[in-house]
Structure 1
Amino acid sequence: MTEGNFVDYVKIHASSGNGGKGSVHLHREKYITKGGPDGGDGGRGGHVIVRGNKNLWTLVGFKFQRHFKAGHGGHGSKNRSSGADGEDVYMEVPLGTVFRNSETNEILFEITEEGEERILVEGGMGGRGNWHFKTSTNQTPRYAQSGVKGQEVDIILELKVLADVGLVGFPNAGKSTLLAAITSAKPKIANYEFTTLKPNLGIVQHRDFQSFVMADIPGIIEGAAEGKGLGHYFLRHIERNAMLLFLIPADSNDISKEYEILLDELRRYNPELLDKERLVAISKSDMLDAELMDEMRIELDKDFKDIPYMFISSVSQFGIQELKDRLWKMLNS
């Protein structure tokens, strides 16, 4: 998936249908000149309904269609015939889509399961026909209810990426290079910070035709939890990953400190993120010789007592198969 096709934030306008009018009608047929009221009910207005679709990965379709309008209910008629219900409109969205009210920013609901349906905007109720209003003192009511008008709302759609493994690291840590090395994804790769501005997804092919999904989350910077840079825009995608792979380059000034900064940003954004399984990968390890790697291990064993770590190189493929095996084992443990 190219970065330009990954859309994870859109605003739409949804309108439900008006309810149909109830009918004012008095029964008339041959030899019956004064039949009672028999006006039918109006049909309900159409709903705007959201449906989860596991085959969708992005909100790109909503770039081209942002207005959704359901049909109006039909009017009631004689012989207590009800009007037809308005046509419902269905919006198919990827799993992990959050719906917010545009004015209040309140979360309305979230779609997380295949085929899950939620009514986004309810259609107006149809009006009741005049036969409902017949009483002992009013045998021929000549009035009926009008249908209830539909609703119009502006809604914000936010997509939180659903992936098995989320790549976490500072800008230019080699996340896109790793994704390109172990999946068929083709993310933009360049030697400058914030090359990646939107998440990239790739499917990692493992042994025996097994696979899992990896997401390259755009680089985090210090202060991201407070919204610095594009902090909240990036961090929300990490919430839906089953486990986190921290990527720290071998030429970092202080690997342990960099890991702690990343961890602290996640903690401040959402403490629950620290409950996820974690693995630290020291990237760009092709620049290290065996002796230097052994020296680094002595320090890292002290700092990463409870968190597993390993050395990898996406360019030379060093440690890549071992990384895939380890990720698979952690995902299925």
Structure 2
Amino acid sequence: MEKGNFVDYIRIFARSGKGGAGSSHFARTKFNPQAGPDGGDGGRGGHIILRGNAQMWTLLHLRYYKNVLAENGGRGDKNNCTGADGEDIVIEVPLGTIARDEETGEVEAEVLEDGQEVLWLRGGRGGLGNQNFATATNQAPEYAQPGEDGVEGWKYLELKILADVGLVGFPNAGKSTLLSVLSAAKPKIANYAFTTLTPQLGIVAYRDNKSFCMADLPGIIEGAAEGKGLGHRFLRHIERNSVLLFMIPADSDDHERELEVLINELEEYNPELLNKKMLIAITKSDMLDDELKEEIAATLPDDIPHVFIASYANQGLVELKDMLWRAITED
């Protein structure tokens, strides 16, 4: 996962199929050489459809699939025969994928559920054959409709991780360590900044066979909302987390300042992120005595619940999971 297998952003050229042309044909039989119009309709152009797949976690499979071109509809034929519909293209994507038009930036499709199919680019309608235009005053119309063009353009497919809890903090705040202790995930852990370059997911077991999904996101730095560090690539994954766990190490020089920077970066990127439920975890707290914990707690906001934890020492983790579960399940 750390070696480039995680791809969360793809640019492709997509075109749905053009509708087939209607037929302009007149029936001729042995006993009636002018039996009238019998041109059939053209077939529909192929759609481009997105389908959610819960077993996928990356857009890597689309890296070399740069041109997505659906099949055109078949032409109408004599004897009122309708042309064949163009074959649809179904693209399987991980949950949390959105499709966006490059030129307008408009979100055109969003896939959130396993097996969900979203008609992304609709194929053009087939043209009507000349038999549709026969009237009492025009019994031999020579006109048939051409098929409608498909939809085409450069598009972006963008993945935003779906998780119940997103871990937010500066590099080396202990996010990867916490995820590795609470779940079976094995993120890379080392004592240098930006060890985690891509989101890591883990399932955290809770009481009574319940569980929730936690995402270790790349470390944030001041100026991330302006694109510094991993910038927007990191911040967009936070949009899909229902609960944000801010992680601040106990040995931080200024706990209050660090939290302010984290919250400010979220607000500058998208003010709506501040409407999410928030918790604070002071990590590496096995080095603290009760007096130091009280001093740190006094600098934290009263309206955001906090807990002191030490992942390797297994301190405060049960309390943390209880707090997270309440935040996830509360309306």
Q: TM-score range by the shorter chain?
A: over 0.9
1:59, 1:93 within 8 Å by CA — same for their partners in 2? yes
1:3, 1:199 within 8 Å by CA — same for their partners in 2? no
Supply the distance in 2 between the matched residues of 1:191 and 1:14 (Cα, whole angstroms). Answer: 43
Following superposition, the deviation at residue 148 of structure 1 comes to 2.7
In structure 2, the residue corresponding to 1:46 is in which secondary structure?
coil
**Could you tell me which amino acid in structure 1 is paired with residue 305 of structure 2?**
P
2:109, 2:120 within 8 Å by CA — same for their partners in 1? no
2:99, 2:156 within 8 Å by CA — same for their partners in 1? yes
Q: Which residue of 2 aligns with 1:189?
A: 189
In structure 2, the residue corresponding to 1:272 is in which secondary structure?
helix
2:133, 2:141 within 8 Å by CA — same for their partners in 1? yes
**Could you tell me which amino acid in structure 2 is paired with residue 260 of structure 1?**
E
Supply the distance in 2 between the matched residues of 1:302 and 1:148 (Cα, whole angstroms). Answer: 64
Q: Which residue of 2 aligns with 1:23?
A: 23
Supply the distance in 1 between the matched residues of 2:103 and 2:25 (Cα, whole angstroms). Answer: 43
Q: Which residue of 1 aligns with 2:13?
A: 13
The 5 A counterparts of 1:207-226 are: 207-226=207-226
**Could you tell me which amino acid in structure 2 is paired with residue 263 of structure 1?**
I
Q: In structure 2, which of residues 312, 317, 326 is the aligned counterpart of residue 315 of structure 1?
A: 312
Alpha carbon RMSD of aligned pairs, Å? 2.0
Q: Which residue of 1 aligns with 2:321?
A: 324
Per-residue CA deviations over 1:272-323 (Å, capped at 9, x if unaligned) read 212221111111123x143xx4233144135332222121112222222222
- Give the TM-score normalised by structure 2: 0.92
Supply the distance in 2 between the matched residues of 1:252 and 1:321 (Cα, whole angstroms). Answer: 24
Per-residue CA deviations over 1:232-272 (Å, capped at 9, x if unaligned) read 11111111111011111111001111111111111222222
Q: Which residue of 2 aligns with 1:126?
A: 126
**Could you tell me which amino acid in structure 2 is paired with residue 325 of structure 1?**
D
Q: Which residue of 1 aligns with 2:275?
A: 275
| Change over 3 Å in CA distance of 1:197–1:2 after alignment to 2 | closer
Matched, 1:44 2:41: no
Supply the distance in 2 between the matched residues of 1:316 and 1:131 (Cα, whole angstroms). Answer: 80
**Once the two structures are aligned, what percentage of the paired residues are identical?**
58
Structure 1 residues 133-142 or 56-65, which shifts more? 133-142
The 5 A counterparts of 1:236-315 are: 236-286=236-286, 288-290=287-289, 293-301=290-298, 303-315=300-312
Supply the distance in 2 between the matched residues of 1:109 and 1:232 (Cα, whole angstroms). Answer: 20
**Could you tell me which amino acid in structure 2 is paired with residue 16 of structure 1?**
S
In structure 2, the residue corresponding to 1:237 is in which secondary structure?
helix
Structure 1 residues 277-286 or 317-326, which shifts more? 317-326
Following superposition, the deviation at residue 48 of structure 1 comes to 0.7
The 5 A counterparts of 1:119-158 are: 119-136=119-136, 138-158=138-158
Structure 1 residues 223-232 or 179-188, which shifts more? 223-232
